[in-house]
Structure 1
Amino acid sequence: MFEREKSTASAWFRRLRDEIVAAFESLEDSHNSGPFSDAEPGCFEIRETKRQSDDGSDAGGGLMSVMRGGRVFEKVGVNVSTVFGTLGERAQQAMAARKGIPGMTEDPRFWASGISLVAHMQNPHVPAVHMNTRMFWTPHAWWFGGGSDLNPCIEYEDDTTHFHATQKSHLDPHGAGLYPRLRDWADEYFYIPHRKRARGVGGIFMDDYCTGDWQDDFTLTQDIGRAFLPAYLPLVEKRRSQPFSENDKNAQLVHRGLYAEYNLVYDRGTKFGLETGHDPDAVLMSLPPLAKWV
């Protein structure tokens, strides 16, 4: 049961990964003016990742694609994975407490697939960004999750407006009330309690999403993924050659500290990946190459 759906979702995440990687490498090749244009264009370094179960047997894996030190991207990772196995006791407790899944102790098998992206930019006027979509399955339940959010260190109202408007246009076919719901969900999820502030200017987010109609929920998840490039690429094109000062760069590094704090302290995906034995380099790909704290 659900083998066809699993295969369909996993293949989609891989296709989305390929499209984004190609678009980002094209940005690198076309950047020929302004700061960093004299550098060699960046390209993705790709390696396979593996997850091992507690007994050492194969439990799936994926592709880790990271570009460092490019003309446009200081560090960007686009990872895709499909993993499976048995949830450990702590992971079982966390899942059961949050989702109320029956039978988790009796049958703790799971399957998960998804794409995860984080981009940290050379030019501080270009906002950092995060995107992921995923599907999770157990013998007793299935659900989708993900979204994307914008993390500028120097905020531009027109950039924020474009990012949100593009996502709204992709969500509106699924119901007029969905975009406000996922926007508010993102604002709540990407909030940093110990700083009493958001880590960026928001976006859309959903977790544990299951209406009972797999195809409708999968189509929504696809549209969240499809919204990413048209929401983000125009912002990169507009800002990548903009002059910046030393103070601008300092602001970027301090803002990255917020990003690191959030991902290490609160992010559920980071916690789940490390708890279930996935490749730690792939799990921690989201961390910026440089950051600072005041």
Structure 2
Amino acid sequence: MKRIPAASPTATRAHELVTHLQSRFVSGLEQLAHSLNSTQHFSPVEWFRDEGRHGGGVRYETAAGELFGRGSVNVSQVHYDDDAEKKLGSASAISTIIHPVNPLAPSVHIHISWTEMKDGSGYWRMMADLNPSNENTAHTEQFLAAMQKAAPTQYDEAIAQGDRYFFIPVLDRHRGVAHFYLENYCTHDSEADFALAKTVGEAAIDTYVNIVTTTLANEKVAAEQQKSAQLAYHTLYFFQVLTLDRGTTTGLLVHDQNDIGIMGSLPAYVDRELLTSWVERMPAPQDELLQALIAALADTSPAPVDEAVKKRLAAAVRKHYQNYPEAIHMQASGNTIPSTVKNHR
């Protein structure tokens, strides 16, 4: 099979950008591993949308290594150049999550994407958020300072949107500690918008690699309490992604040809009992969704989130929103809600 790229020059340029960011991040993480005498590396996995006719993507992934328990750096481009009935022209994106093994090193999520309609209009989505299980205030300040330098004019709005999007109402807390989020971003200056996406992506990647390099180079051994905090935090991360994250849910509803890639953000292990304790806090029908997610896990402590489990989780999420389509409105949002699923229909 062969992936057919989008025909639009703007989409081509956006795909070149997200591929550049992917290469920059994978290279930085592998150089980090090499500097610490680790053999852990990221392996490419290709996937195809409709056997490549409508694009697809390549993700670089790693798991169960010395440094990273789970890592995915996914680039995709989906397009509908041959379907005049679709309003969506193309969507080009990098979406990445890294979960280090050491509880003192934070996780990170970065997403940069360009969505282009058939009429030539389009918008950027830019997300960068730091997610530690054991917060280091110096890391938080370093990450936020880098985001402010990358987007000084947009910074306040991005932080406000991020704090709104990553808040978990039933737990009365945020997922992470530093949340940068611009949704439906588009100004009259397309070149400046492109430059902003590039600068934000590079700043988030470079800052994170620096934070993790510094943390792991110090060779501090985590205490058992910090390891327990990491498992609890990874459980919270799992919970937020699968019950609130609109990007994950819409990706699963649009198609079923990259479920493992979409689930690449999930940590390697979660606490099943902790998840169960949150069921009674969930409003209907989301309590049923959480119960279905728990049922997809092995009855062990901790419960592994391997490839087979990811497939069951994807199926559970898809089935839930097919049964309760109105429940999508209970998911997280920034200032605006993108019509992702509608665009693909």
Q: Which has the higher contact order (CA 8 A, sep 6+)?
A: 1
Cα distance in structure 1, aligned partners of 2:72 and 2:55 = 19
Q: CA deviation at 1:62?
A: 0.7
Query: Structure 1 residue 108: deviation in Å?
Result: 3.0
Please tell me whether residue 201 in structure 1 is matched to residue 177 in structure 2.
yes
User: What residue identity is the alignment partner of 1:31?
Assistant: L
> Identity, % of aligned pairs?
29
- Could you tell me whether the CA contact under 8 Å between 1:42 and 1:69 is conserved in 2? no
Distance 1:186 1:288 in 2: 21
Query: After superposition, what is the alpha-carbon deviation per residue over 1:159-205, rounded to whole angstroms, capped at 9, x for unaligned?
Result: 11011001111112xx3xx1111111111111112211100102311
The 5 Å alignment of 1:69-84 reads: 69-84=64-79
Asked whether 1:252 is paired with 2:230, we answer yes
Match of 2:43 in 1: 45
Question: Which residue, out of 5, 9, 23, partners 2:14?
Answer: 9
* 1:136 maps to amino acid: T
Which position in structure 2 is the counterpart of 1:25? Answer: 30
User: Does the CA contact (< 8 Å) of 2:69 and 2:101 recur in 1?
Assistant: yes
Q: Which of 72, 93, 114 is 1:114 aligned to?
A: 93
Amino acid at match of 2:193: D
TM-score, normalised via structure 2 length:
0.72
Aligned counterpart, 2:130: 150
TM-fit CA distance, 1:107: 4.4
- Deviation >4 Å, runs of 4+: none
CA RMSD, Structure 1 to Structure 2 (Å): 2.1
CA distance in structure 2 between the partners assigned to 1:284 and 1:272 by the alignment: 12
Contact 2:62 2:71 in 1 (8 A): yes
Q: Give 2:62's aligned amino acid.
A: M
Superimposed CA distance per residue, residues 239-281 of structure 1 (whole angstroms, 9 cap, x where no aligned partner): 2221112221111011011111111112122122112214111
Q: Name the structure 2 match of 1:166.
A: 146
With the length of structure 1 as denominator, give the TM-score of the two structures. Answer: 0.84
* Equivalent of 2:114 in 135, 139, 153: 135
Q: Please state if 1:229 is matched with 2:205.
A: yes
Seen in structure 2, the aligned counterparts of structure 1 residues 44 and 230 have a Cα distance that, compared at 3 Å, is closer
Q: Distance in 2 between matches of 1:30 and 1:69?
A: 19
- The residue aligned with 2:290 is none
Q: Aligned partners of 1:21 and 1:131: how far apart in 2? A: 13
- Residues 57/134 of structure 1: CA separation in 2 closer, same or farther (3 Å cut): closer
2:250 to 272, 277, 280: 272
Q: Which residue of 2 aligns with 1:101?
A: none
Whose strand proportion is higher, 1 or 2? Answer: 1
The one-letter amino acid of 1:58's match is: R
Q: Which amino acid aligns with 2:203?
A: A
1:2–1:145 Cα change, 3 Å: farther
Q: In structure 2, what is the equivalent of residue 281 of structure 1?
A: 260
SS at the partner of 2:221? coil
Unaligned runs of 5+ in 2: 1-5, 275-345
Q: Distance in 2 between matches of 1:125 and 1:216?
A: 37
Uncovered stretches (5+) of structure 1, i.e. residues with no partner: 33-39, 87-104
Q: How many pairs are equivalent?
A: 263
Q: Do the aligned partners of 1:116 and 1:132 also contact (CA within 8 Å) in 2? A: yes
Partner of 2:311: none
In structure 2, the CA distance between the partners of 1:220 and 1:261, relative to structure 1 (3 Å rule), is same
Q: Pick closer, same or farther for the CA change 1:149–1:5 going to 2, 3 Å.
A: same
